Amino acid sequence: DGGITQSPKYLFRKEGQNVTLSCEQNLNHDAMYWYRQDPGQGLRLIYYSQIVNDFQKGDIAEGYSVSREKKESFPLTVTSAQKNPTAFYLCASHPGKSKNIQYFGAGTRLSVL
Amino acid sequence: GQQLNQSPQSMFIQEGEDVSMNCTSSSIFNTWLWYKQDPGEGPVLLIALYKAGELTSNGRLTAQFGITRKDSFLNISASIPSDVGIYFCAGQLNAGKSTFGDGTTLTVKP
């Protein structure tokens, strides 16, 4: 099946620890995105990548890092510098052509122990 | 950056009633999108609008791209229990990057 796969579904972080959230897509999409969602709020853009080996900061990039070494993969690392990491993280992708529609993964819920 | 005002924030309706929600912006967009999110899942696209004035339907859902390009509405007719969820609008000016509203939480009472 084609789609966007996020893993794990649930993740727990200890204080001072870095954790990495996985996002893989087999849709052959050029662009990929990471969003953070807090209860009762919309989606806030963390990082995005429009092409392999290139990425840009979104609105709330501090405390996060990404890489885009392969077209199908866009992992997000939540570093120890992110003091309030508890949230629902969503990965999305789109083809990179006109009439761009973002398609979302099922999300990863990150909690702090 | 651009911001979207989505309203209402929440709605509690009886099964069978019609629903209307909207998004407004101080900036223009070239594309408006409406998504639905079920609890603990990612948003799923409902309707995409690409031209000012465009009116598009998807089953019981109807959405319109405002003529000023600064607003959009979504209507749901004859609501059913599975319509429960959070509905998000999103505007795009340039290819790909979307600005999202804060969502409308819909509760449908049987």
Spatial distance between the Cα atoms of B29 and A37, rounded to a whole number of angstroms:
22
Chain B environment of A41 (Cβ under 8 Å):
102-103
- Please tell me what DSSP assigns to residue B39: T
In terms of pLDDT, which residue wins out, B57 or A42? B57
CB-CB neighbours of B109 under 10 Å: 11
Confidence band (pLDDT; 50, 70, 90) for B95? low
The residue of A27, A91, A100 whose CB has the most chain B CBs within 10 angstroms, and thus the best one to mutate to test that interface, is A100
Residue A106 has its nearest CB partner, among B42, B45, B92, at B42
- Which tens digits make up the pLDDT trace of B63-76? 999 999 999 999 99
What sign for the dihedral angle of Cα B48, B83, B43, B23? Answer: positive
Given an 8 Å threshold on Cβ–Cβ distance, is B102 in contact with A40?
yes
Average pLDDT per block of 10 residues along chain A, 113 residues long: 89 91 95 92 92 94 97 96 94 81 93 88
Decide: A68 and A29 in contact? Cβ < 8 Å.
no
Does B101 contact A at CB distance below 8 Å? yes
Does A103 contact B at CB distance below 8 Å? yes
Chain B environment of A35 (Cβ under 8 Å):
100
- Please tell me what DSSP assigns to residue B44: E
Confidence band (pLDDT; 50, 70, 90) for B97? confident
